[in-house]
């Protein structure tokens, strides 16, 4: 496949890229596959796109893209071999699509220092692409949540399995409390209230964000409760149900929407679903690059629908 359109990756760009972060609960929901499908859809629409393997400590995007041994990885950037992320971005066989590989062989990658994380965040914002898609690690570590929270489009991937729905909601809840603790990190009294509320069985019996905000206002005044309310209001997770086999499985995201609204006052948006696809499953098991799949593959078509629904005809990204 020709790579002439990759010239967009080299072009200077004044605007910061639109950041997509693909996270979820625990492993097994297909986050990496969803990340690739979304990046392929964006690139094939003519948008310069960079796919970043931010699954620190368990990188595998390069394998799924048919690259056996990456010549440059995030570890090279963190070790100051390269000054900018753009320098470790490699071309793929897909027009408009670049890839930044992770480094699964380096155990310390999973435990980034604050300065290292900040360095990555700042460099992501200078990448020469219209869209940057971050494939996050499994679980809800601080690293994962912090990457998730910088995104314009923070996507939570789940399946219709009850455990997956539970894990996806827990991920959203953890993201909310991570944002709150960082918002008032310099106010110890408020911070202690938030940390206490993170325990569902807390002695203050704070079960919802509304109850927490009321407690904060009672203890520290309306200033901090207003700041926290605005902070929570800026969290707008996007839900994608993956590997569905039956139409009724699409209701999984609705459960999270209702619970997140009730307990977290968070407005989650359902972007739709991606069907279980024998072609995708076969490609993974046979080590065939996902980007080699025909465009009419159902999963790719579903990803196209999700991209269209997310962008809603507007190239701008929502504030977050």
- What single DSSP character describes residue 179? H
Give me the pLDDT at residue 259, please: 97
Give me the pLDDT at residue 114, please: 83
Q: What is the pTM of this model?
A: 0.90
- What are the extents of the domains in the chain? 4-158+277-311
Give me the pLDDT at residue 137, please: 84
pLDDT tens per residue, the chain (320 residues)? Answer: 333 334 334 433 448 999 999 998 787 899 999 999 999 999 999 999 999 999 877 788 999 999 988 889 998 998 889 999 999 999 999 999 999 998 655 545 556 788 888 999 999 999 999 999 999 988 888 989 999 999 999 999 999 999 999 999 999 999 999 999 999 999 999 999 999 999 988 888 899 999 999 999 999 999 999 999 999 999 999 999 999 999 888 899 999 999 999 999 999 999 999 999 999 999 999 999 999 999 999 999 999 999 999 987 444 444 44
DSSP assignment of 1-45 equals: ---GGGHHHHS--SSPPEEEEEEESSSSS-HHHHHHHHHHHHHHT
d(CA 4, CA 142): 38
CATH 3.40.228.10 assigned to 4-158+277-311: no
DSSP assignment of 212-254 equals: HHHHHHHHH-HHHHHHHHHHHHT---EEEEEEE-SGGGGGHHH
Give me the pLDDT at residue 313, please: 45
Give me the pLDDT at residue 104, please: 59
256, 165 in Cβ contact below 8 A? yes
């Amino acid at each position: 496949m020709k790579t002439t359109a990759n010239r967009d990756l080299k072009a200077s760009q004044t605007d910061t890229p639109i950041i997509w972060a693909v996270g979820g609960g625990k492993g097994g929901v297909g986050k990496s596959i969803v990340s690739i499908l979304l990046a392929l859809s964006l690139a094939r629409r003519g948008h310069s796109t960079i796919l970043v393997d931010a699954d620190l400590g368990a990188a595998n995007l390069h394998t799924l893209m048919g690259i056996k041994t990456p010549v440059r990885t995030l570890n090279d950037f963190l070790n100051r071999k390269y000054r900018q992320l753009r320098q470790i971005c490699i071309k793929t066989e897909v027009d408009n699509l670049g890839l930044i590989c992770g480094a699964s062989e380096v155990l310390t990658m999973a435990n980034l220092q604050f300065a290292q994380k900040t360095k990555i965040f700042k460099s992501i914002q200078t990448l020469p692409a219209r869209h940057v898609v971050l494939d996050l690690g499994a679980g809800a570590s601080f690293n994962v949540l912090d990457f998730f929270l910088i995104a314009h489009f923070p996507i939570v991937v789940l399946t219709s399995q009850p455990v997956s729905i539970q894990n996806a909601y827990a991920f959203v809840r953890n993201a909310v409390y991570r944002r709150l603790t960082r918002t008032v990190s310099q106010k110890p009294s408020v911070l202690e209230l938030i940390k206490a509320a993170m325990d569902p069985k807390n002695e203050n019996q704070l079960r919802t964000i509304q109850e927490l905000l009321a407690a904060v206002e009672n203890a520290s005044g309306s200033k901090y409760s207003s700041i926290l309310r605005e902070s929570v209001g800026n969290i707008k997770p996007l839900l994608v149900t993956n590997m569905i086999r039956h139409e009724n499985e699409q209701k999984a995201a609705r459960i999270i929407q209702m619970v997140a609204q009730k307990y977290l006052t968070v407005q989650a948006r359902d972007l739709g679903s991606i069907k279980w696809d024998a072609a995708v499953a076969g490609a993974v098991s046979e080590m065939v690059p996902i980007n080699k799949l025909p465009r009419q593959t159902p999963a790719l078509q579903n990803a196209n629908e999700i991209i269209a629904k997310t962008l809603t005809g507007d190239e701008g990204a929502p504030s977050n």
